[in-house]
Amino acid sequence: MEAIILAGGFGTRLSTVVNDVPKPMAPIANKPFLSYLLDYLSGYQINSVVLCTGYKHEKVEEYYSFAYKNTSIRYSVEETPLGTGGAIKQALQKVKSDSAIIMNGDTLFNINLSEFIKFHHRLKSDISVALKELSDFDRYGSVILDGERIIGFEEKKYKSLGYINGGVYILNKNVFEKYELPQTFSFEKQILETRVKELSVNGYKSNEYFIDIGIPEDYKKAQEEIKELFNE
């Protein structure tokens, strides 16, 4: 299976600490955060990756060119912002397999990808979503489940306990072919939330390590935690 990493974000909330590179290139222990994502994928023999780039895309291309260690890299460059859905739709044109792993370039969720792929095939999902259980949170929206099936999404509000979308998906390519979609759209709003009842969307629960470096306090926390996770 191949992977798509959404790496085109502006990193507005991180601009006070990182402002000269795209958010996924923010350094963690002197190494771009994106490199840890590529190492993570490689650990599960996912060695073909499409990077969705936009803001300062040349910085990513200068650093990686077309390979990182044993991983081949292709680029899907957004000339204008396409939203997450538009970016994925464009990148899928470069994917040869029938499905792809989709990841956010500013989030690391250390799930067992081998088990996640088995889960996707076992349930014959159109879309599988990795879910993280959290307590006492209000920064994220939450997921409504019926067993393993996702039946809805709740907006951000305080929850004492709930599951959040961990930003890792397996998506069948033919999902986008079912609908007339604009060039620019949100994957979360216009596919996941709008089509959840007509597609087979299932949630894979995991309590593995999760970090979103999108705000300065979590970016600071990641400096030590990710280094330790990867034995750097």
Round the average pLDDT of the chain to a whole number and report it: 92
Residue pLDDT, tens place only, 202-219: 999 999 999 998 888 888
222-229: list long-range contacts, CB under 8 Å, 24+ apart. 222/28, 222/33, 222/108, 223/28, 223/29, 226/28, 226/29, 226/33, 226/36, 226/108, 227/28, 227/29, 229/110
pLDDT of 47 higher than 70: yes
Nearest to 13, CA basis, from 220, 226, 225: 220
- Cα 33 to Cα 79, 102, 152, 190, distances in angstroms: 23, 16, 31, 28
Do residues 127 and 228 touch, judged by C-beta distance below 8 A?
no
pLDDT at 17 exceeding the cut of 80: no
Please give the pLDDT value at position 231. 82
For 167-196, what is each residue's pLDDT tens digit? 999 999 999 989 999 999 999 999 999 999
Assess whether pLDDT exceeds 80 at residue 67: yes
Q: Which of 202, 208, 185, 45 is nearest to 133 (CA)?
A: 208
